[in-house]
Structure 1
Amino acid sequence: MRYSEALSTHTSQAANKTLRNTYGLLSLTLLFSAFTAGLSMALNLPHPGLILTLIGFYGLLFLTHKCQNSAAGILCVFALTGFMGLTLGPILSAYLSLSNGASLIMSALGITGLSFLGLSAYALVSKKDFSFLNGFITVGFFVLLFAVIAGFFVQMPALQIFISAGFALFSAAIILLQTSEIVRGGETNYIMATVNLYVALYNMFISILSLLGMSSSDD
């Protein structure tokens, strides 16, 4: 076997291993996050607020990044996703207080799940290089950041729709890019890959739920 063929085979095997580990850990963290969200709802815990949420999220994200090459990184991933589940619980409780809240949540879950499956399948089957999305993601991050800040001072329904739709597209781009990076061998750390996909799914679900909620309130 030629060296180039052996290298290609090794890269493909490494990519498949990273993909299996990522999807396996992602499944477990989603279940754990659902558990902590349910626990938060059962205990009727209040939402920690934006400041504490950001401190907790970025603190645990930094810790996960520092421990990404050790077994402690897995514990950090569960700590991060568990914390995000706790922050999700009060949001779901608020929607469940609405007459159609349960259907809104189920619809958002279904759309998010189907979107993830479709985007992941496209990246896996096509094996395309989606690195060109890096520019879109970078610009999109700052645009959404400024829009969120503006949303604190200007209460406009159109702005809220823009923010939610923007986060949904932003999350879709991250799913495509991250999956492509794994398939093409650019991402070999399944811990960070899991975190990136989880955050994208979390943001996509919240964004779609918000859009459905706003659409429902207009009817």
Structure 2
Amino acid sequence: MDLQQSWQGASEGTRSRIDFVRSVYLWLMGGFAVAALGALSAPVVGKALISVAGGFWHWILFGVQFGSLMFASAVSRRRPLNRLAYGLFTYISGTIAGIVALIVAQGAGFTPVFMAFGLTGVVFMTLTITVFVSKKDFSFLRNFVIVGIAVMFFGGLAAAIFHLETFGLVISGVAVIACSAKLLWDTSAMLRTNDFGDPAGFALSLFVSLYNIFLSLMNLLGGRRR
């Protein structure tokens, strides 16, 4: 009887984990869909921002994006507010990605954009399969990820403020490595957690990593040609 109860408990736990992982990736796919809508609206939004804010448009957009990220993180467990916050953040991020893609395309054509998009997909699939197959705990990357993201954030700000193009390319390389490591860490945490109540939070974290990888690859592939 105890053996049967243990087996049933294990089976229910496995089903719950599968449902949780499925939910995380459904949230992530939904975020990609909303981001695509944001990218399509990028030309209109970009022109409107420039006409209103002038040369400060990119700082305003960055501030709105950062605020929406904090909001989405804070309400990730609160339904249905988490859907609104997640949708808002992914839409803004898609809009920014679309604007950056247009800027890259003006100087280097759309080839770097398509290459960055494809490489981001390859990175995502490769790292995800690595975690699922190896079943390894990648939490040992925590300190590396924290340092890498700090360098990415503050280095990116410095490059933008002082117009350091070469330094910006270096920071983009750091961002690809740091966010790839974070993908490994977050995916392994998703497979090991016993808290199945926050799929939106996991999806948000995965989306942010993929978003930064995509932008950084566009900068690396198109930066030297602009």
Inter-CA distance 39–145: structure 2 relative to 1 (3 Å threshold) = closer
2:128 touches 2:184 (CA, 8 Å); kept in 1?
yes
Gaps of 5+ in 1: none
Distance 2:208 2:75 in 1: 18
1:28 to partner: Cα distance: 1.6
Which among 120, 127, 135 is matched to residue 128 of structure 2?
Answer: 120
Q: Would you tell me which structure has more helix in proportion to its own residues?
A: 2
Gaps of 5+ in 2: 51-55
1:108 touches 1:208 (CA, 8 Å); kept in 2?
yes
1:14 to partner: Cα distance: 2.6
Residue aligning to 1:16: 18
Distance 2:224 2:13 in 1: 46
Which among 44, 60, 63 is matched to residue 55 of structure 1?
Answer: 63
Residue aligning to 1:133: 141
Following TM superposition, the consecutive aligned residue runs of length 4 or more in structure 1 with deviations greater than 6 angstroms are none
Distance 2:30 2:161 in 1: 39
Which among 105, 108, 111 is matched to residue 113 of structure 2?
Answer: 105
SS at match of 2:139: coil
1:133-152 alignment, distance < 5 Å: 133-152=141-160
Number of residue pairs matched by the alignment: 216
Normalised by the length of structure 1, the TM-score is 0.87
Residue aligning to 2:53: none
Distance 2:151 2:221 in 1: 22
1:60 to partner: Cα distance: 1.5
1:5 to partner: Cα distance: 5.2
Cα RMSD, aligned residues only:
2.3
SS at match of 1:95: helix
Which among 211, 217, 223 is matched to residue 208 of structure 1?
Answer: 217
Residue aligning to 1:93: 102
1:64 to partner: Cα distance: 1.8
2:180 touches 2:213 (CA, 8 Å); kept in 1?
yes
1:153 to partner: Cα distance: 6.0
1:50 to partner: Cα distance: 4.3
> More deviation in 143-152 or 63-72?
143-152
1:64 touches 1:73 (CA, 8 Å); kept in 2?
yes
Percent of counterpart pairs with the same letter?
Answer: 24
Deviation digits for residues 159-194 of structure 1, max 9, x if unmatched? 222200011111101111111111112563110111
SS at match of 1:31: helix
